[in-house]
Chains A and B, each alone.
Chain A
């Protein structure tokens, strides 16, 4: 009985997104505050503290060098938290998915809905971060409008990465490996705190295959208005990877939940 999995339906996915939004609406005021404190602390601690010793990096003030990258990393944390821990709990402990899947919503619709929601949470993290950067006077030019769609696209990319990992594991403890051995190295070695050109060439080659690096480069280009063709390649890299990830993860979730 190997029938093809039914096609994913965007409307059904949006129903799942709406469910999460309804839950979030109840507690968003409590939820959103840390998203504003975090960039404050980073900019104060690293920009002012570290910035006292490193005044300039590649010709720009250090605080302005790190801010665009930190913005992207906050999207990464927000989106992956959603599609790792939160999805795992809904799938295995709270039985939320048992309820949803007995309605016309199918596993692929459910997975796409969670990706939309992960992207939304990532955008909320990123949006809060961005608003603080504006307060600090950074990125106040028309070109910055390009960053808004990027918040969602980069959020979506990291949501797929988190969900791929979630679809593979059976024990919640394994997320520690994902965060410590995958996301933390990305955070440290994707060019947020120092230019990649300082690293050995092999590391630079490896970095090219990782997602955060492209987001950071794109964001820094937009913030500092360095319009080069490279921005296009970084963007395309993320679109292609996000598309492939989505294709794979919808299949994986279907296999996981239709047994």
Chain B
């Protein structure tokens, strides 16, 4: 299991809060220079895994090493090599943009000259030059997130942790953040992110761990997961329950499998077009009938019987 080249390794990683098993003995390893994602709904245990990696939560059992260092025995050493962007904004609202970076640089013992040079590079890279001396309060949501990422990079970490990097951002700001993430991967930074958005996972991640209730239910590249876990395409039907029932019975032998949700019926098939045409020909007046490519959402649904965003 253990691989010398891995930058992060977890074995039997477990966290129990009282009676709640937040992380239930998981194993994973992350290769340097890749983007590794934890995909799962809220409460799946993703954030707890991140918190154990950046040493603010102790493990209940298991082992976890980052850059070859044990997270329990060498907290400061581990944290020195990681940049962290927390889910809730933890910027210092008593300071301006530049000082947020400079104050942070001190925690890593950077000299004043190093800190100023690095801060200015980052301000430029994240396109915050106009706001350099402005109070953090005046920044838009997207700018705040970029500043948080900039701050996390102040010490040139080999690993950047992003906990829900685009939650709460508008589409334009999300794409901006994603573009910056791609640039960082090209620079050789290992990215580790959590998300409950499948488009984010598909856009950014080389490798994915799908989490549910403290367990990793499957792992692989986004495309491999879709290929191996579900059929390539889906026909999706919204309509009254009895209409959905009639259709399901009629097409039973034409599909690989189906998911019947409270409001929708999903029919999985190698090729959606003939099935779509067949259902159309039945002339049942359903609300919507559409075909699409299968996605990570479908993988999650099949493996857990639940939707990603509830």
Contacts and interface: CB of A to CB of B under 8 A. Distances in A.
A26 interface: yes
A102 B86 contact: yes
Contacts of A103: 79, 104, 107-108, 155
Interface string B233-267: 00000000000000000000000000000000000
Contact of A15 (B84, B91, B107): B107
Contact of A1 (B60, B91, B94): B60
B279 interface: no
Given A23-B95, A96-B90, A96-B92, A258 B76 contact: no
Q: Interface majority SS on B: helix, strand, loop or mixed? A: loop
B102 to A, nearest CB: 8
A19 B56 contact: no
Interface in A10-26: 11-12, 15, 18-19, 22-23, 26
B99 to A, nearest CB: 6
B72 A3 contact: yes
A229 B90 CA distance: 51
A95 B109 CA distance: 22
Interface residues of A, number: 27
Contact of B106 (A15, A26, A98, A106): A15
Given A6-B76, A98-B86, A99-B86, A11 B109 contact: yes
A99 B59 contact: no
Contacts of B104: 99, 103
Interface residues of B, number: 35
A121 B24 CA distance: 46
Contacts of B103: 18-19, 22
Contacts, number: 80
Contacts of B106: 15, 18-19
B199 interface: no
A111 to B, nearest CB: 14
Contacts of A106: 75-76
Contacts of B72: 1, 3
A258 B86 CA distance: 16
Nearest to B80: A104
A101 B107 CA distance: 9
Nearest to B91: A99
Contacts of B86: 95, 98-99, 102
Contacts of A105: 76, 107
Contacts of A15: 106-107, 109
A258 B107 contact: no
A241 interface: no
A104 B107 contact: yes
Q: Which of A12, A18, A19, A102 has the most CB of B within 10 A?
A: A102
Given A23-B95, A102-B56, 12 more contacts: A1-B61, A9-B76, A15-B107, A18-B106, A95-B90, A96-B92, A98-B56, A98-B86, A101-B56, A102-B86, A103-B107, A103-B155
Interface of B: 54, 56-61, 72-73, 75-77, 79-80, 82, 84, 86, 88-95, 99, 103-104, 106-109, 151-152, 155
17 contacts: A1-B61, A15-B109, A18-B106, A23-B95, A94-B93, A95-B86, A95-B88, A98-B56, A98-B86, A100-B107, A102-B54, A102-B56, A104-B80, A104-B107, A104-B109, A105-B107, A258-B56
